[in-house]
Amino acid sequence: MKKLTKFLAIALMVIGSVRSFAQVVDPVDKNKLANGGYDMVAYFTDHAAVKGNPANTVEYNGARYQFASAQHSQLFKSNPGKYLPVCDGYCAYGVAEKGRKVPVNPSTYKIIDGKLYLFFNGDFNGSPFNTLTEWNKNETNLLRQLPTKWSQIQND
């Protein structure tokens, strides 16, 4: 019984780690898929992180964006800048606080003054870490620092 309990504990940790890693994505992956396939428009219209459908794919600036509906893809096509995240989709906290490009968890986001901010939320050195929580503690200062820090690293 003791071995079974230990096995189950290890299995749950592994499953949890894989799940965390699976949710952390680069802004554009090696296949040119943006934001892990999440619908950029849904953050604004549905107020939720929604996976896009490959049938509703739009290419923009060398990346492929997927949308949950044809209507969302049309909204994006009519005004991409309205829906694209700040810092080209890198973690806003990572840029503002650390001056680094950090991947994100597409389901961890915040809209501030009509702009989409994405955040890292996953495993960091063996422990869960959500940068949105840290961002919220010091949002005013981080928003002030963000443009300068981004301009220093955006072309790296």
CA separation, residue 83 to residues 17, 22, 67, 101 (Å): 30, 23, 12, 20
Q: Which residue has the tokens 């050195």?
A: 125
- d(CA 40, CA 34) in angstroms, rounded, equals 9
pLDDT value of position 23: 74
Beta strands in the chain (DSSP E): 53-60, 63-67, 105-112, 115-119, 121-124, 127-130
Strands 121-124, 127-130: pairing kind: antiparallel
Q: What is the mean pLDDT of the chain?
A: 88
pLDDT value of position 147: 97
Residues 128-142: pLDDT tens digits? 999 999 999 999 999
pTM equals: 0.84
pLDDT value of position 149: 97
φ, ψ of residue 111 to 5 degrees: the values are -105, 125
Nearest partner of 42 among 33, 34, 50, judged by Cα? 50
**Model confidence at 19: pLDDT above 70:** no
Q: How is residue 85 annotated by DSSP? A: P
Nearest partner of 105 among 5, 20, 12, judged by Cα? 20
- d(CA 101, CA 91) in angstroms, rounded, equals 7
Domain ranges for the chain, please list them: 1-25+85-156, 28-79
Question: Rg of the chain's alpha carbons, rounded to an integer?
Answer: 17
pLDDT value of position 125: 87
Residues 28-72: pLDDT tens digits? 999 999 999 999 999 999 999 999 999 999 999 999 999 999 999
pLDDT class of 22 with cuts at 50, 70, 90:
very low
The proportion of the chain whose per-residue pLDDT surpasses 70, expressed as a percent, equals 86
**Structure token digits, residue 109:** 């986001």
Residues 82-98: pLDDT tens digits? 999 999 999 999 999 99
Q: Give Cα 136 distance to the centre of its chain.
A: 16
